[in-house]
Amino acid sequence: MRTRFVQNGLLAILGITPGLVISLGLVPRAAGETVATSAVVSTSVQELIDGVPGSVNSDRKQLGVDSPQPPLDVAADLVSTDLNGNLVSLGQGFGRFADPDRLNQANPQEFAIEVECYSNTASVSYAVQSNATESRTILFRGSGGLGNPPEIQFRSDGTRSIESRIFVTGALVFWSTTKRADFSDMTAEMQFRVEHAETGESLFDSALVLTETGASEISPTVSGPLQVRPVNIDELAALGADAESIGVLEQVAEIGTLAIFVIPTQQHRYTYTVRADEPMTLDAVLEARIRNAPDGTGVAAVLGRPFKNLADFIELGLPGVDGQTLERSLNQATSMASDKPATNRPASTALCGSFGMELAMFAAFSLFLTHRTRISG
């Protein structure tokens, strides 16, 4: 990993989405050093039999412990079959941390998480979660050294306010093929956090949670500045979903419940303070948690990358759906920019650039379905 870089335009973390997914960056052009970097990705699948915990499968990797360098990949799954050996329920989770220095793009998608579960049996369900965390300790020097100009202009008290931006994209699919499903047993939530590690100060915190509104209906509850919008069946058809798949989805919506939400591409501003010649650590965390109910329900979410595992999964959970065309149309829907203005505009001194050249620090995080999620500043 690099030890020195110019801070300016973009900083990326996790990849739900759908990978984290988040990029951190500084608006003022300033040089800094990475003193230390750590990253952890994990995922787990818990089987529930009539609501009672059964088998569990999990995977976790830490940079420098399980691998000296990225990528870090984790995966876990559990399945249930009927007496004939047919797959009737599935829970699966994935996570990745890739080296942003090697991605060769302005928005390195180093973090990504994807979680999915469905059940077409009367007793089995799953709770699935994936997490991605990066901690980066950075140092801003008040002097460039003998004969060199200062790298950043600090106040008389040795501090400087830094403005950063977080770019977020995500998505979520939720269905029930019957009105009998108990939505109170189902969970679908994602959260993005950026924190000052030493003080615990929250720099950015926003979440999306699906909640039951009664009569087998659900709606998104948003905390923080995230912009969320629903995607209807007609939009999926316009984006390329095939007619047979659309027919299945229409039937699901008629006899049960179908809900699709995306966090369209957007950016949000946050600020923090650095002190000359004093290292500071930022933590970026992305979390996705889902739980389905028995007897014909499913949930899928991704952050930090387009869906990669949705196609096969949704064909199993909703027979008759062409997973590839639905996956493509949904990924396209999540990649569309928000129709609302961004909550910040880059300062005139900010230049866009790749992570390796123009970012002063980096922390990552992602949650639910996402084409890409990044923190940048």
**Cβ of 228: how many Cβ atoms within 10 Å?**
18
**Coil, strand or helix at 236:** helix
Give me the residue label for tokens 């699919």: 173
Residue 304 bridge partners (DSSP): none
| DSSP secondary structure letters along 117-145 | EEE-SSSEEEEEEEEEEEEEEEE--S--S
Angle between helices 323-335 and 310-317 (to 10 degrees): 120
pTM of the model: 0.79
Residue 369 bridge partners (DSSP): 171
Residue 300 burial (10 A CB sphere; 0-12, 13-18, 19+): buried
Report how far apart the first and last C-alpha atoms of the chain are (Å, whole number): 20
Taking the C-alpha atoms of residue 138 and residue 377, their distance in angstroms, rounded to an integer, is 15
Taking the C-alpha atoms of residue 318 and residue 309, their distance in angstroms, rounded to an integer, is 14
Q: What is the pLDDT of residue 214?
A: 67
Q: What is the pLDDT of residue 67?
A: 86
Q: What is the pLDDT of residue 165?
A: 73
Q: What is the pLDDT of residue 162?
A: 78
**41-64 pLDDT per residue, tens:** 999 999 999 999 999 999 999 998
Domain span holding position 233: 4-347+355-376
Taking the C-alpha atoms of residue 311 and residue 319, their distance in angstroms, rounded to an integer, is 11
Report whether 285 contacts 195 (CB < 8 A): yes
Taking the C-alpha atoms of residue 130 and residue 90, their distance in angstroms, rounded to an integer, is 16
Report whether 170 contacts 330 (CB < 8 A): no
Taking the C-alpha atoms of residue 254 and residue 269, their distance in angstroms, rounded to an integer, is 41
Peptide bond into 150 cis (omega under 30): no
Burial 333-369 (b: 16+ CB within 10 A, else e): bbbbebeeebebebeeebeebbbbebbbbbbbbbbbb
Q: What is the pLDDT of residue 40?
A: 95
- Angle at 136 (CA atoms; ends 135, 138), nearest 5 degrees: 155
Q: What is the pLDDT of residue 288?
A: 94
Report whether 281 contacts 165 (CB < 8 A): no
Q: What is the pLDDT of residue 58?
A: 98
Cα 6 to chain centroid distance, Å, stands at 26
- Angle at 72 (CA atoms; ends 201, 374), nearest 5 degrees: 45
Q: What is the pLDDT of residue 32?
A: 55
Report whether 13 contacts 22 (CB < 8 A): yes
Q: What is the pLDDT of residue 309?
A: 86
Contacts of 175 (CB under 8 A, 6+ apart): 252, 256, 257, 258, 259, 297, 298, 299, 317, 318
Give me the residue label for tokens 């306010």: 161
Number of domains in the chain: 1
Taking the C-alpha atoms of residue 193 and residue 201, their distance in angstroms, rounded to an integer, is 11
List alpha helices for the chain, DSSP H: 233-238, 243-255, 310-317, 323-335, 355-358
Phi, psi of 42 (to 5 degrees): -150, 155
Q: Which two tokens stand for residue 224?
A: 């923080």
Low-confidence ranges of the chain (pLDDT < 70): 1-32, 100-110, 143-152, 214-216, 337-377
